[in-house]
A and B are shown apart, each in its own frame.
Chain A
Amino acid sequence: MHVNRLRRPSICSLLAPLCGLGALALLAAMPASATSPWMRSEREAYYATGLAFSTSRHYWDRSGRRHRSGCRTRQLENRHHFEYGLSYYHTLFLSVGLETKHCGGAASTGLGDLRVGVRGRRDPFRNGRTWEVLAILPTGYSRTERLRRGFGEPGIEAGIASLYRGQGMDTAHTWDWEYGAALRYWAGPPAPQFVGHLKWTWPRDDGTRRFLALETELALDGARPEPLAGSPGEAVRARHDLLRLRAGISRRLAPGWRLRLEATRTLWGRNTGERYSLGVVLSHHWQRPGRWW
């Protein structure tokens, strides 16, 4: 029945395999980090690098019906994220991924979008209440290829995040939960998006914490497919809705060093691919040595 409905004359129904291909490619290039409630101390630096493998064989159409894609998409991404405390009040951050993706005979390798922004405190006296403004900058990849690594348009994002801690002063032994919400505007065809997340973290032992997060991305124009620039008759899924589950565990390796293992699954979507991924992230934070003057 789903197949019959799909065969109505529409761009996506006519080119379903390609639509799936394009959507998957875009989803994999979605910005990996959500709005963060964490501020860095002045002169404190943070760097994280991770390797994530993701794959997808199905997609949801605009109505939320699940279909098999024309090919399996596989993606390997090496993401780099850096933060630096400019002052007590402002943290600078920068993020970029090196990606390689394959689907059928198509392939794409190179840098994804660069995200650079600044984070500030909404409450000057406590951590865990932040605002964030960032710019999303394409890194020169072709906007016409089917497996492109981003929307190909510059965008800006503004949002807030909050963190609520369980109790006590010892952060290693408390649960906490956080949320983040942001609006993303693009310079070109992609529709404005709402992005949000809700995350729980709780300790396993002194150095280990577990987390579970629900993430969502909602297009503000109803997840309508849009034509692929330079390829008349083909569509991409820059406009999509999705709900994603992320779970993982992180372990402190040494003072300032953490290792995180995580798994992600897209639970539901419209005009987007059904993706599974596994990742490992190594992070380090340190105080920049040097004089005060």
Chain B
Amino acid sequence: MRWTAILWLCLALPWPGIPAAAAEGLTPRVRALHVRAGPGTEHPVVDLAVRGDRLDPRERRDGWLLVRNARTRRIGWVRARYLRPLPPPSPPRQSPSTAQSGSQPTGTGRKGTRKAPGLPPRAASRALRPAPAVPESRPHGPPGSFIPLLTLRLHMEPLDAAVLMRKEADDTSTFPARVRLEDGTTARARIAVLGSSSRHVRKRSLLLYLEPGHRWHGQRRIALDGLGTDPSLVREWLAWHLFAALGVPGPRVHYVRLFINGRYQGLYLFTEWVDAELLARRGLASGGRLYQPRDATYCGDLRPPFDARRLQHCWHLPDGKAAREALARLGRSLAAARVETFDAFLATHFHPETVLDWLAVNVLLDDGDTYNKNYFLYREPAGRWAVIPWDYDLSFGRNWDPYLPYPRNLFNDRFQYYYPPESGAANPLKEKTLRNPRLRDWIFRRLRHLLGLHREPGAPAYGWFTPAAMQRRLDRLEHTLRRAALADPRLGLTAARWHEALEAIADFTARRRAYLREILDGATPWDPDRATWDPAQAPPPPPLPHHLHRKGRAGPGEEETLLTAPGWGLVVAGLALTEGEAPAPVSAELDAGPPAAVPPGQDPEACIRRTWFVTATAPRRTVRARLSFEYLEENAHRHEKGSRVKEPGLRLWAFDGVRWQPMPTRVNTLSNVLRTLGPVRLAPQHMLRFVACSGKTP
């Protein structure tokens, strides 16, 4: 708390040596300026700021400034003396079209225009340069913008240390170790590999037990999540950050750098274990019983039958027949409870907010890997139950693929924005809550609050799930973890790959928000009474649309306008007008299926099976916008990739009715989003057609 206060005080005070215009943004005095990982030339260069880049200051230390480059979105340290205030933006200029004559397309376009999209490199760089400032506000939840990075030092027999990291997955042995505590003393400990399916990834999670009487950061049982199943490294942290912001019982988490015998072993997430201490801290009565669904049996779903054999098979039960019978009674009560009065049932039997917030977060983050595992039930001595969430690595769009064999069904790059709110295994607690109008209304209000659509008086974490807030969070995480993550010997992360994974989180935030908004507004129908839909069960996939259309108004700025198709909630296209442009009406369409026409020399099987159409609809007004499109890659059977698509080589092509032109494109292969690197000129009433192919560009 004190740290946060000091940091915000520093940010609020004027900094000597920095012009007053710093609040408006800074830019290098020199042609190019190194941006470093820390305040000093001994730190590695993480970015290059060029004159004209907008650098938003965040912190000052010893003549160095921590800045965020609005163009590259990177955060790092620069020397303050090489900066000057950014000049006010010049009035918007109309860039000349660079349309040139070209070859005829191989196919006949359904919709074509006479003008080609303009893509002069200078105009593109100009458009990318001055991005509007993202308003900084105090982020939600503890501990503000300060993300602590702890260090844990162990000493072990060298052979034990090597075996621990390399031994086969199914072994559960423990090894002796010594832990250096915060006060410099050491304590004996035993260490083992933690987890179930995550034991099979290269970087395992670890569990450490200190000898009695000793604690490290308040914990005797130290669970270290290896983050090996999440390429972004931040899903769990973000989920727990959200729960903490909502005040839901859940573990505290901290990133940890682990050293064994002085050697860096990698970045871990220290996750507080769910125990009596945590529950007491969260306001639940102590002395109760904790129930956890077994990870391997996928049946801790509160569905009948409730005989002793099935309960033992599906749950880690507390000792004693009475504890087992309490769970059986709860299951039978749940089965008998009526949907119409389920709100009263929940109030009687549960701490209802623990159920409702759990469901709201699961809907928001699209966590379908729960309801039959990955949660705890806690029964207070007086008989009331509470839900304790657990395990969020398969969230934020990361998806189970039911058509792939284990373990690729879990560890893959599948991504999905559009699973409905009830997604996940069957569980009467979930289903009856979502079907009860009063409880559903509570969850929807909480979702609107988190999405920043409508503030609930007195509720915390308003707007937690907005693209701007998420981007700020991701920037902070990237800055804090960058060195530790890239030096991790077992993750094998490159800066580009990690950045792509973080960008995928941002893409998910924007698209999931747009999708949920459609449902909350009623524009996309959603029937809570329909059967539970579980993507893990390889169901027949819901149908895909053949054609989607959406008109809307695009605005300028870094945050793009997503045009979602009514009735589906799917994004047809994303547009961000170049700075200075007034909001403009636009129209986007999408045809699913193999493209009717592809650029000359491109193999249709090397193309995405979608065609996009975008136009500016205001008469006599040309707009310039960066565009984004997405394609589906939900699982091995349901995707829109041609059989010879090489995702990293995907490039957008635009057809203006006369010729095809390749566009500088950035593809996020995780979130399946294609972006134009520069602005595209959208002439009035001239529809441009886009396809994406990975064949060689002439």
Contacts and interface: CB of A to CB of B under 8 A. Distances in A.
B405 A88 contact: no
A42 B172 CA distance: 7
A171 interface: yes
A88 B173 contact: yes
B163 A168 contact: no
B163 A88 contact: yes
B322 interface: no
A255 B407 contact: no
Interface string B294-325: 10110000000000000001000000000000
A88 B406 contact: no
Given A124-B163, A255-B313, A293 B209 contact: yes
A125 B173 contact: no
B175 to A, nearest CB: 7
Contacts of B171: 39, 41, 88, 127
Interface in B113-165: 159-160, 162-163
Given A169-B406, A170-B406, A125 B163 contact: yes
Given A125-B162, A127-B168, A293-B212, A173 B405 contact: yes
Interface string A46-78: 000000000000000000000000000000000
B170 interface: yes
Nearest to A168: B405
A126 B168 contact: yes
A44 interface: yes
Interface in B395-436: 405-407
A254 B172 CA distance: 19
A36 to B, nearest CB: 16
B508 to A, nearest CB: 28
A88 B175 contact: yes
B211 interface: yes
A169 B163 CA distance: 18
Contact of A293 (B168, B175, B211, B313): B211
Contacts of A87: 173
Interface in B154-193: 159-160, 162-163, 166-175, 190
Interface in A98-115: none
A42 B174 contact: yes
A169 B408 CA distance: 10
A231 interface: no
B159 A169 contact: no
A38 B513 CA distance: 51
Contact of B167 (A43, A85, A88, A170): A88
A4 to B, nearest CB: 59
Contacts of A127: 168, 170-171
Interface size band for A: 20 to 34
A171 B209 CA distance: 29
Main secondary structure of the interface of A (DSSP, over half): loop
A169 B406 CA distance: 8
A293 B210 CA distance: 9
Nearest to B166: A125
B406 A85 contact: no
B172 A44 contact: yes
A291 to B, nearest CB: 8
Nearest to B171: A41
B289 interface: no
A287 interface: yes
Nearest to B169: A169
A166 to B, nearest CB: 13
A39 B406 CA distance: 24
Contacts of A126: 167-168
Contacts of A88: 160, 163, 167, 171, 173, 175
B200 A169 contact: yes
A292 B209 contact: yes
B477 to A, nearest CB: 30
A255 B309 CA distance: 12
B488 to A, nearest CB: 20
B313 A254 contact: yes
A255 B196 CA distance: 14
A42 B174 CA distance: 7
Given A124-B163, A292-B209, A42 B313 contact: no
Contacts of B168: 125-127
Contacts of B166: 125
A290 to B, nearest CB: 12
| Most chain B CB neighbours (cut-off 10 Å) among A43, A124, A287 | A124
Nearest to B296: A255
Interface in A148-199: 168-171, 173
Interface of A: 39, 41-44, 85, 87-88, 124-127, 168-171, 173, 254-255, 287, 292-293
24 contacts: A39-B171, A41-B170, A41-B172, A41-B173, A42-B173, A42-B174, A43-B172, A43-B173, A88-B171, A124-B163, A125-B163, A125-B167, A127-B168, A168-B406, A169-B407, A170-B406, A170-B407, A171-B170, A254-B313, A255-B296, A255-B297, A293-B209, A293-B211, A293-B212
Given A125-B166, A255-B296, 18 more contacts: A39-B171, A41-B171, A41-B172, A42-B173, A43-B172, A85-B173, A88-B160, A88-B163, A88-B167, A88-B171, A124-B162, A124-B167, A125-B162, A127-B171, A255-B297, A255-B313, A292-B190, A293-B212
Q: Ordered nearest first, which 7 A-B pairs have the shortest CB separation? A: A88-B173, A42-B173, A41-B172, A292-B209, A169-B200, A125-B166, A170-B406
